[in-house]
Structure 1
Amino acid sequence: MRLAPVVLCLGVLFAAPLVEAATTTYSVRNRRIEPNQPLAVALQEAGLPPEQVSVVISALEGVFDFRKSRVGDQFRLVLREGELDFFDYRQSAVDEWQVRRDGDRFVGSKRSIEVEKQVAVVSLEVSSSLYEAALAAGEDPLIGMVLADVFAWDIDFYRDVRRGDRARAVVEKFLSKGRFLRYGEVLAASYQGESVGQKRVFRYELPDGKPSFFQEDGASARKAFLKSPLKYAHVTSTFGSRFHPVLQYVKAHNGVDYAASVGTPVWAVADGTVTLAANTGAGGNTVCLRHSNGFETCYLHLSRFGQGVRAGARVSQKQVIALSGNTGRSTGPHLHYALKRNGHYVNPLNQNFPRTEPLPKSLLADFRAKVAPLAQQLDAVSVAQASAGD
C-alpha cells in the first residue's frame, strides 16, 4: 500500500494530497520546401491552421526575404497542445531563422551562429581526378574549383591534369563549432604537374584595395586569355572516360572539342563584346566574342545563353556566358571552342598570351615580406611529404 507523505507544521500532522503532474503534449513536424511552393502554402500543407500560418509570416516580415525561399529548404514546426510554439527555417549551416513564442505574441529573428576563420594548408595528390584527390585528402571537393579559379590562366583542368600531379594551397577555412562551412580566400597555391610543370602564385592586395595573384618574382599570374573556355565543375570520372580521346583534336573544322556534360558553365576567356548569340543551325546555340588585338572566340553547341548575353553586350573574363549542351549537328554533349586572330582560325592550344602588368618596383619589398611566410607554409608541406616517403 502506498502511503501519502505528511508535512509537519506547528506540531500538527496534515495529510498532503497526492497530485499527479499534468502532462503537456508536443508534436514536431519536419518538412522541406517543394517546387513551386511558397512558404505559406508549405505551412498549410504541413497542417498548420491558417490563422497560425499568418502568425509565422507576420513574425518573419522584415526578417526573412520570402523571395529567397528555395526548393529543399528545411523547416520545423513544434506544436504544444496543437498550438504553434516554435518555428525553425534552415537554408544552410549559417542561414537559419526562428519564430518563438514571447508571451501572447510571436517574434521572428535570424539565428546568430558563431563562425570561426582558420588558415590551413591543403595538400592534394591526383590519382584519378582533382575531385577524387580532394575526397582522398579529407577535403571538400569545392577546393578543386577554388584552385582551378586561381590557376585558370595557366592550367586547363579538363585537359592538363595527370596522375601524380600535386597541388597545395594556403587557404582560409570557415567553421562553425568545428564543422567545415566553406573555403575563403586562397592566400598562396602551387601546382606541380606532368604537363604544366611548376606553378606557384600568391595573393596580394594592391594599394587600391583590389587583390590579385602574382608569382614569387612579382610577375602577374593573370593573362589576357584564360587557358580553358570551361569553368571547372565537379569532374568526378577518371582519366580514361573523363575526356573522349576521339574528340580531343584540332582539325580542319577549326577548333577544339571539349567533352562536357550538358549544363557545364562556359566562361569568357577574355574581356570582350558579344557579336553573336543565336542558333546557327549546325553549330547550334552559339556565342561569339570580339576581343582586343584582333582576337575573336566562338563557343558552339550550347544548351542556353548566360543572363544578359546578347549581341552588343560587354562581358568580362571569367563571366559565365553560357552552359554547354548538345544542340545543332552534334554527336554528343560537348563544347566546340574556336579562336580567330585577324579573321583567321588559329590553334587555341598553342597560343602563348602575355601576362598582364607586373607589380611596380615600389611594391616589391612589401610584397616579398608578406608572401615570405606563405611560401614557408607551402614548402613545409613539401618537407612533410618528403619525410613521409622516406
Structure 2
Amino acid sequence: MLVYSPLTLAQIYKYQDKQGKWHFSDKKPTKHHTAVQQIDLTPKNKAKKTKPYLTVKTANGQLNYTANNPLLIPAQGFLYDTETKNKVSSVVVPPLSTETLFSQQNSRIKRDVYFRYVIGDPNARPDTADIYPPFTDYKPLRISQSFNGQFSHHSAGSRYAVDIGMLVGTKITAVREGVVIKTRDDYALAGVSSPYFLDKANLVKILHQDGTYATYGHLLLGGVNVKVGDKVKAGQVIGLSGNTGYSTGPHLHFVIRYNNRGKTQSVPFKFLQPNNKSVTPKKGDWLLPYSPR
C-alpha cells in the first residue's frame, strides 16, 4: 500500500519480491528483496517550458504580448481581457517559434489579460484512414471503455478515446507514422481519488501528416522508448503499458485529437484487423494485434 503526501513526495522505492513481482512504495522495504531501486522524483534542474506560454516585455515605449511555442507542432494562442472576458487577439504560432499577440502603446499600465492555447493547426482536417491497433502481442485485448464512455470519455477532447485493458509491460506501437512531439516518463503511481492524478500519466504524443496527433497514456515508469523529435513508423514499438496517473487499473488510454478552429476535438476512428477488416471500437470487444508487414 502506498501512503504518501503528493506535496512532499520526492522519491519512491521499486523492489522485486521472491516471486519476481515488482512493487512501488514511498517506504523503504524492511524485509530482504532480490532487488531494490531508489527512484528520485525531485527535478535535478529547472524544467524547460513544455507547453505554449505568454511573455510580456517592454520595447520602444510599448508593451508586447508574445505567444511562445516550444513544441514541434503548431499552436494557436488566444489573449483575453480578464475583466470583460472579450478576446483581444489570436495567432497561430509555428513550431519552436514566437508570434506577437498584441502591442500596447502605453507601457506604464499593464493590461489585465489571460492566455489560452490549443495545440495544432486550426486549418488541419483529419483524414478518414483506418489505423492499426496500438499494441503488439500474440493475444487479443479487450476494450474496457470506448467512445462516449461514461467514466471519463465525455468531453470534446476525449469523446472518441478508447481504453484497452492489458497487462503491465505490453508493447505499445504507433498506429500511424509521425513525429514524437511530447513524452512523459517520470511517474509511478495511479489513482482516481483526487484530481491530483489527472496530469500525472506517463505518455507519448505523436503528430501525424494530416495535422492530428495521437496520445498514448498511462505508460509504465521507465517504459517510454522514444524521445521528442523521433520519426516513427506505423507498428513501431514506442513504449510499454502501465498504470500511471488517473487510472483504475493497468490499461492503455488512446485518443487522436486536432485543433478544430480553436477547440481541442477528438477524432473517431476504426481499427484495422486481420483479413483487411476494420472495426469501430466498442466496449467489451476484443482487438487482435495487427501491424504492417
TM-score by length of 1: 0.28
Greater helix proportion: 1
TM-score by length of 2: 0.37
